[in-house]
Structure 1
Amino acid sequence: MQDVLQGLPAQIRDDCRVLVLGSMPGAMSLQHARYYAHPRNRLWPLLGALCGFDPQLDYDARLQAMQACGVGLWDVIGQCRRRGSLDTAIVRGSEVPTPLPARIAQLPQLRAIACNGAAAAQAFARFVQPQLAPREAPLAVLALPSTSPANAAFSLPRLQQAWAPLQAWLMPLSAAPAPR
């Protein structure tokens, strides 16, 4: 039987404009307690290109740069059973969602949810979307191709093209206010 896996804490500032959601962190991310820790995952190079920071910065500096640009990270699933890292290995019915609807309600500047891969988009539609409170400003929900190395069909340039619409809501680091 698989162990129950616990997700990572949210990396979301109150001024978040774009929230990138995964399904559940992979084994390497859980082991290192860092989002997108697999060296071949393309999330950090992608966010670096969108926001204007070096994806080779240390983890804390990447988080700070990403948040200064208006991006937050979390996952739809906070707890589940899974063998390995693949989303397809999550045991259906074992998922316990994160409290995303409540957190989203606390983010008045949030303009877009970026679901990183099909599993995140499906989990968001299943667990979160039905519970979202009405918002004054519209909230775009984008189902984007996964940055996982398992998604070999998408090169980094192709991912950059698919994720480019997020730029409309981001604050490039040259224009971002100093962190509080």
Structure 2
Amino acid sequence: MQVRGFPPLSAPDAELLILGSMPGIASLEAGQYYAHARNAFWPIMGHLFGAGPNLAYPGRAQRLREQKVAVWDVLQLCLREGSLDAAIREEVPNDFAAFFAAHPHIRRIGLNGGKAAASFRKYAAAHMSPGAEAVVLPSTSPAHAARRFEDKLALWRSGLLGKA
């Protein structure tokens, strides 16, 4: 089935961009980024930026914007059955030339998992602002539960903020 992603959650002064691959079924149904109850994204955002699941979704989105954090996906459209990245076919990337032009302060890009990283390298890396850095982070997806939450949090903290 054809799957369409969301517009970016961002403000023009964003300095940090977090990219996934494509929203899963729970997110698409809810109309929210990372809506699956077992996805570690919002708990990690709570620890790093005060945008945790204790806030309603609009409050989390606003908190990230206030912290100069943008959230988007590498892909705009794809064919996929289910929610797994491995099932993605016929990828259509988002317009990163326009995004980076509209967000000139992006200095760090966090890639949420291997598929986001591979797709970013293929479609978007050439559009990064000079001096920006992309870092691959462990997936927050519940499908990738082999790593403990504390370990994921530590890797996200060091990857996004440069702090151990």
Task: Give the TM-score normalised by structure 1.
Answer: 0.85
2:149 is matched with which residue: 156, 164, 167? 156
Distance 2:128 2:111 in 1: 19
8 Å contact 2:22–2:76 — kept in the other structure? yes
User: Paired residue for 2:19?
Assistant: 21
Tell me the secondary structure at the aligned position of residue 95 of structure 1.
Answer: strand
Query: Number of residues paired by the alignment?
Result: 162
Tell me the secondary structure at the aligned position of residue 116 of structure 2.
Answer: helix
Letter of the structure 2 residue corresponding to residue 167 of structure 1: L
Q: Deviations over 1:108-146 (max 9, x none)?
A: 22110100000000000011113x1652xx101001100
Residue 114 (structure 2) pairs with residue 118 (structure 1): yes
Tell me: CA distance 1:158–1:15, structure 2 relative to 1, closer, same or farther (3 Å): same
Distance 1:134 1:144 in 2: 20
Distance 2:49 2:161 in 1: 8
Tell me: CA distance 1:80–1:67, structure 2 relative to 1, closer, same or farther (3 Å): same
The unaligned stretches of length 5 or more in structure 1 are 170-180
**How many percent identity over aligned positions?**
40
Tell me the secondary structure at the aligned position of residue 162 of structure 1.
Answer: helix
2:85 is matched with which residue: 62, 84, 87? 87
Distance 2:24 2:50 in 1: 26
Tell me the secondary structure at the aligned position of residue 141 of structure 1.
Answer: strand
Distance 1:116 1:19 in 2: 10
Q: Deviations over 1:65-102 (max 9, x none)?
A: 111111111000000000000000112xx111011222
Residue 133 (structure 2) pairs with residue 140 (structure 1): yes
8 Å contact 2:79–2:91 — kept in the other structure? yes
Matches within 5 A, 1:1-180: 3-91=1-89, 94-130=90-126, 132=127, 135=130, 138-165=131-158, 166-168=160-162
- Specify the structure having the higher radius of gyration (Cα): 1
Distance 2:128 2:115 in 1: 23
The unaligned stretches of length 5 or more in structure 2 are none
